[in-house]
Chain A
Amino acid sequence: MRPGVVLSLLVLAFVALCVTVPGLLASTPPDRIDPLVMLEPPSFAHPFGTDQLGRDVFSRVVHGARMSVLVALAAATTSLVVGALVGLVSGLLGGWLDALLMRAVDVLLAFPALLSALAVIGILGSSPVNVAVAVAAAGIAPFCRVVRAQVLHVRTRPFVAAATVSGVRPTAVLVRHIIPNAAGPVLTLALMSLGVALLASSSLSFLGFGPRPPDADWGTLASSGRDYVGTAWWLTAFPGVMVVCTTLAVTALHRAVARP
C-alpha cells in the first residue's frame, strides 16, 4: 500500500474515533466554561488553545466531528441512493421518461451545488437535518448522470448480448451482469461526493445554517472564531485543519480506488 493511502486511513480512523467515542480523546467537556483561561494560545493543557469563554478548543473540535461527519455521510448516502435509482430508471427505460429526467438533471446541474443547497435551506429553514437534505439534493444530479451513462455503456458490452442469447431473463441480466459491472465508477463517485458533502455542509454551517449553540460542528466553530482572526488564530485554524485533513483523506482514497 502506498504511504498516502496509509496516512489517509490513519486520519479517517482518528476521525472515526472522534465520532464514536469523543470523550475518550478529549476528557474536558466541550462546553465547560472557564473564565480563568479565556483566549489562551495552544499549550500542553489546551493543545488547540481556548476560546473567548475559556472552553477547550481541542475538545470542541473532537466533539464537533460527530455532527460534521454524520451530516456529510447522510447527505452523500442519500444522493447516492436517489441518484442511482433515477439514473437506473432513466438508463434502462429510455424514451420520453429518460429525456425528461435528463433535462431535469440538466436544469439541476445549471446551479452550483452550494447555491442549490442554499435554495433548499431557504425553503426548509436552517437546521442540521435540513443542511443534510440540502447538500443531498444538490448532490443527486452527478449520480444520475454517472449511473445512467454506466448503464448505457455496460448494456452495449458484448457479454450482455451473450447472456441474452444464452437465454438469461432480462431481470437476471440486469441483476447479474449490468448492475455489478456498472457499480465500480458509481462507488468511486460516492467517495468523492462524501468529500464534497463535507465541504458543502461545513460551509453551510459556517454561514450559520447548521447546529445552534451550544452544539457546534467544524463549520460553526470556524465561524464563531471569525471575530478573533488576527488575535486568536487557533479558533479558526484547527477546525479548518480538521475539515481539510478529512476531505483530503477521503479524496486521496478516491484517487487510489479510481486509479489502481
Chain B
Amino acid sequence: MRRAGFVLRRLASAVPVLLAVLTLSFVMMQLVPGDPVQTMLSGAGPAPTPEQEQALRHQLGLDRPLHEQYFGFLADAVRGDLGRSVQTGQPVVSAIAAVAPASAELALFALVLSLVFGVGIAVLGRVTTGPLRSLCHGVPVVFMSTPGYWVALVLIEVFSFRLTLFPATGDKGFAALVLPAVTLALPAVGVIAQVLGTSLAAVDAEAFVVTARAKGAGRWRVLLRHALRNASIPTITLVGTTVGNLLAAAVIAETVFARPGLGRLTLQAITNHDIPVLQGVVALLGVLYVVVNLLVDLCYVLVDPRVTADRIRD
C-alpha cells in the first residue's frame, strides 16, 4: 500500500520532467539552422517547385503559428507519433523500434559486466592487502581515463586480429556481442569500483563498524552485513546514470564494431540533420531516465529504512 502510493507519486512527479524533455526537443528543432523542407526535397531529381515546397510545408504543419506547432507536437508525442524521418520517410517510432532491441541487448550485457566487475573490484580492494589491493585501487582510474573508441580499437587489434577469438564487426550471435559490451562496460566498471570503494572506506570509519567488531564479528561479516549496504546508496545513484552513459557509449561502440543500434541511428541523424529522428531519441532517453530513476528510488527505499517516499535523496 505504502509502496504503491510511493510509485504513483514518483510517476506523477515524472510528468513535468517528460514535458520538459519534449519541450527541449521541440526547441531543438527550432534552433537547427536550415529548412527541413529543403533538406527533404534536396534528394535526387529536378529542383523542387515552390508549389511542391508549399504542399510539403503544409503537410508537415510548418505553416502554422509556433504555439500551434508546439501543442500539435505535444499531442502527437503523447499519442506516440513522433513524425517521420526526414532522410528515409520512415516513421520515427518504427525506425527506433527496429534497432532498439540490438542496443538493449548490448547495454544490458554491459550493465551486468559493469556491476559484477565494479562491485568485485571494490570489494577485493577492501579485503585484500599488498599489491592486489593497490591494483584494485589503481585500475578504476585507468578504466575511467581511457576513451571508448580506443578501447574498441585495441580490443579489435588484440582479440580479433591477433588472437582471432571474437569477430571485429557484426551483430550475429553472442561472440559478436562480447567486444562491444566490454568497450561499453570498461568506464562503468571504473566508476562503480571507484565510488563503491570510496564509500566502503568511509563506512569503515563509522562508529557502528567498531560496534560490530566489538561484538566479535569478522572482516567478511562486517563487510557484507554492515558496510556494503550502508555504502551502496551512492553506487545505486551511479548505476542509474550509468544506464544513460552506456547508451551514449554505444554511439562509439556501434560505429567502430559496425553494429546496428540506437547509437548509430543517432549518429546518422546528426550527420544528416535528421531532426525528427533526433527528437525521437531524446524523447526515448527522457522516458528511460524517468523509468530508471523510479527503479533507483525504489532501491533506496529497499536499502535504507530511513528513506521514505517524501524525503528521498536529501
A residues lining the B interface (CB < 8 Å):
103-104, 106-107, 109-115, 118-119, 121-123, 125, 195, 199, 202-203, 206-208, 219, 222-223, 225-226, 229-230, 233, 236-237, 240, 243-244, 247-248, 251-252, 255
Contact = CB atoms under 8 A, between A and B. Distances in A.
Interface in B247-279: 247-249, 251-252, 255-256, 266-267, 269-271, 273, 275, 278
B144 interface: yes
Interface residues of B, number: 48
Given A107-B21, A110-B17, A207 B251 contact: yes
Contact of A248 (B16, B31, B145, B269): B145
A111 B282 CA distance: 8
A122 B273 contact: yes
A135 B126 CA distance: 35
B207 to A, nearest CB: 21
A240 B155 CA distance: 13
Interface of B: 16-17, 20-21, 24, 28, 31-33, 141-142, 144-150, 153-154, 156-157, 160-161, 168, 241, 244-245, 247-249, 251-252, 255-256, 266-267, 269-271, 273, 275, 278, 281-282, 285-286, 289
Contacts of B154: 236-237, 240
Given A107-B21, A125-B33, A243-B147, 4 more contacts: A107-B24, A202-B149, A207-B252, A252-B141
A247 B187 CA distance: 13
A89 B281 CA distance: 32
A249 to B, nearest CB: 9
A114 B184 CA distance: 13
A110 B251 contact: no
B269 A122 contact: yes
26 contacts: A104-B20, A110-B286, A111-B285, A112-B241, A112-B247, A113-B248, A114-B248, A114-B251, A115-B244, A115-B247, A115-B266, A118-B266, A119-B278, A123-B28, A123-B33, A125-B33, A207-B255, A222-B153, A225-B153, A226-B153, A229-B168, A230-B160, A230-B161, A236-B153, A247-B146, A248-B145
Contacts of A230: 156-157, 160-161
A229 B161 contact: yes
Nearest to A202: B147
Contacts of A104: 20
Contacts of A229: 153, 156-157, 161, 168
A230 B169 CA distance: 13
A118 B251 contact: yes
Nearest to B278: A122
A236 B285 contact: no
A208 B268 CA distance: 12
